[in-house]
Amino acid sequence: MTDTAVTPEIEAKRNGKPALEVPEKTVEVMDLYNPSLYINRELSHIEFNRRVLLECYADHPLLERLKFLAIFSSNMDEFFMVRVSGLKQQMMLGITKGKADGLSPREQLVAIYRVVTQIFSEANRIWREQLYPQLVAEGIQVLAYKNLGNRTQRKLSSYFEREIFPVLTPLAFDPSRPFPHISNLSLNLAVVIRDPDTQKTNFARVKVPAILPRLVPLKPLAPDELLTPTEQKFVWVEEVIAANLDRLFPGMEIVAAYPFRITRNTDMEIQEEEADDLLLTMEENLRQRHFGSVVRLEIDENTPEDIRQTLMHNLEISQYDVYTTTGPLGLSSLWELHKLERPELKDPHFKSVMPEYLTPDDNIFSVLRERDIFIHRPYDTFIPIIDMVKRAAEDKEVLAIKMTLYRVGPNPPIVHALMKARENGKQVTVLVELKARFDEESNIEWARALEHAGVHVVYGLIGLKTHCKVLLIVRRERDGLRRYVHLSTGNYNAITARIYTDIGLMSTDEDLGADASELFNFLTGYSKQVEYRKFLVAPLSLRKNLLAFIEREIAHGKKGHIIAKSNALVDPEIIQALYRASQAGVRVELIIRGICALRPGLPGVSENIRVISVIGRFLEHSRIYYFHNLGDEAMYTGSADLMPRNIDRRVEVCFPIEDPDLRRRVVDDILMVYLRDTEKAYELQGDGRYVPCNNFVEDGEDLFSSQSWFLTQHAGKSAKREDVVGD
């Protein structure tokens, strides 16, 4: 028995003295199920998007700050399409019981409306008072149509006649014609027209087709309108249409036109058990997505009450689903300005480098026979993963390739390499996840292309979304068959590889290879395997192992240390375990990019827990779970976030980082670097607020950015190894 377990009574007996009279100590046991200990996940989600919005004020180049405003708008669209629509469905089903935080669906919707109204107002103010004036100062202007000169308006009318008018379809609404269907996220004009003969007014809807550029460029139109090389002028396409509505309604008087935009429920429910063909079922569900119930209506603040009521009545929504704005609708369209060729207004280009121990001329299989390769994207290049599949496709000794694809993106080089491998006679098996939200159409397209090439394509398990990132290559060598694996936290997507932070491991470790083989047997065949050699697989073994690791640190008490980096922390059981760890004195450091339902810093519950969120140039996407274990460390990384959906309803893989030097590198040069961030990090408070970490910096102390540090370190590698610079 250690001294820490010696009670006063035992100590007295050891000394041959009578037992001490120790007064009974009253210990207040905190109910860890108490709703007050949890932050609502939807409100936490909104707070993440608020942090994205705050990057519009940060020290980024101008067009990068504009990008963050577009990202914020796009994120909020998805929030309404999925999360708000889910709460509305719960209300319709009569669900009143809340989750861990205790808020009912109705209470959450009320809170969301209150917070989102404020944050939308802030976004419009940022555009109107911050970004747009600075764009004008840089020669980029989005002009109001009414303020254009007559010559420019005539030129735009000609443009309208040539490029816009042929694709417009005005839809009337009257007793003989039903209210037209309004598609999700479409921009529309509510047009009020008057018959000059009867003086009767009518309502019509004109959709702004998505195929048109939202921002119409104004080219030099006359000698007095010549633009300098840095001058770029635009006008909103809906204003061009509104100014030329007389061409759509000849003989009618145009009274007014008001822009509006709707958001629909796009969270599809798929009855997989009843689906004979999942691919066809997904295609049908995608078509139905356009007809989901309306969850949000965005209108201009000048829209009169009668138009507002017409829209609300026919869209079957309440006043709490209506959001008014003083700026342009659909700020995600500002991506069009970010595409401008103005490099001086964007982040400087950076070069990803080849991972350590690897050069572009190396045969990846030869290198992996000697050592594992660790990849930290986007600082390390994505090229070795592409090269691994391309080489496997051409290598005569490669017998089989198996991999999972979740989000592949447009024109994916890996998919083309897989098709080439099949042409070369390899056994190629690919699990394509058709239910990857908002990438379903792209995944269906590439699944069909792979099938057409002869690749064996499977779509996963009924009721489970396959989210793990695993590549397995089987190669014949002198000493028999050898398995090469690539395991990652991120998708096999060359585009996101440039903007998401992820980590991956290439290895010939026999246990990892065997686990990968058995995982694919689980995904493609019939297998009841529960335990793996080294993989932690959800929904089979991940939860119990994570909880066991936490419990082990709890047993170590104040000597315990947990560091976790994840996109989200929502799972109540994991949160309760972390609370108990804090109560036992364990130091818990959490790097949670987005949603976090845990409240840090609560006396008696979580005072030993610190939570930060890093928002910067790159989207933090890697997941790392570290447990100190008195120096006998355990570290896992993989595809799973700390959410019930990841742990219980998805196929996820977390894999160990076992090499001591590599594990130390991840702790010292990745995790601790994030925890030092004072420039791009926010610290979560017990009341749910996020406070910028620069608030805790002493006057005169330099701020520290983790992402800038990573870029600098890899730039140093690039300078030393010019022959190994990647994409």
The answer to the question of residue 173 being in a domain is yes
Percent of all residues in the chain with a pLDDT value above 90, rounded to a whole number: 76
Same-domain check for residues 278 and 409: no
The answer to the question of residue 667 being in a domain is no
CA distance 630 to 628: 6
Q: What is the mean pLDDT of the chain?
A: 89
pTM of the model: 0.90
Residue-wise pLDDT for 225-246, tens only, equals 444 556 799 999 999 999 999 9
CA distance 427 to 430: 10
Residue-wise pLDDT for 107-138, tens only, equals 999 999 999 999 999 999 999 999 999 999 99
Are the CB atoms for 468 and 519 separated by under 8 Å? Answer: yes
Q: What are phi and psi of 357, to 5 degrees?
A: 75, 10
The residue out of 470, 489, 524 marking a domain boundary is 524
Is pLDDT of 276 > 80? no
Same-domain check for residues 187 and 104: yes
Same-domain check for residues 75 and 200: yes
Is pLDDT of 4 > 50? no
List C-alpha distances in Å: 504 to 114, 487, 514, 567, 655: 41, 5, 18, 16, 10
Tell me what pLDDT residue 6 has. Answer: 35
Task: Name the catalytic one among 45, 376, 467, 561.
Answer: 467
Same-domain check for residues 188 and 327: yes
The answer to the question of residue 603 being in a domain is no
User: Into how many domains does the chain fold?
Assistant: 2
Q: Quick one: 53 exposed, middle or buried, by C-beta within 10 A (0-12, 13-18, 19+)?
A: buried
The answer to the question of residue 118 being in a domain is yes
Is pLDDT of 35 > 80? yes
Same-domain check for residues 297 and 395: no
Q: Summarize the confidence of residues 339-348 as an average pLDDT.
A: 94
Percent of all residues in the chain with a pLDDT value above 70, rounded to a whole number: 89
Tell me what pLDDT residue 408 has. Answer: 82
Which range among 217-221, 525-529, 637-641 shows the weakest confidence by mean pLDDT?
217-221
Strand order in the sheet with 215-218: 140-143, 232-236, 215-218
Q: Summarize the confidence of residues 525-545 as an average pLDDT.
A: 92
Are the CB atoms for 88 and 293 separated by under 8 Å? Answer: yes
Q: Summarize the confidence of residues 131-149 as an average pLDDT.
A: 95
Are the CB atoms for 12 and 18 separated by under 8 Å? Answer: yes
Find the CATH number of the domain harbouring 261. Answer: 3.30.1840.10
Residue 266: pLDDT band (50, 70, 90) is confident
Burial 68-94 (b: 16+ CB within 10 A, else e): bbbbbbbbbbebbbbbbbbbbbbeeee
User: Strand, coil or helix: what is 253?
Assistant: strand
The answer to the question of residue 415 being in a domain is yes
Same-domain check for residues 105 and 225: yes
Same-domain check for residues 332 and 237: yes
Are the CB atoms for 372 and 505 separated by under 8 Å? Answer: yes
The answer to the question of residue 682 being in a domain is no
The answer to the question of residue 454 being in a domain is yes
Tell me what pLDDT residue 395 has. Answer: 96
Is 416 assigned a catalytic role?
Answer: no
Find the CATH number of the domain harbouring 413. Answer: 3.30.870.10
Q: Which residue has the tokens 């949000």?
A: 296
Residue-number span of the structural domain to which 497 is assigned: 364-524
Q: Which two tokens stand for residue 235?
A: 């006008």
Are the CB atoms for 614 and 684 separated by under 8 Å? Answer: no
Same-domain check for residues 368 and 453: yes
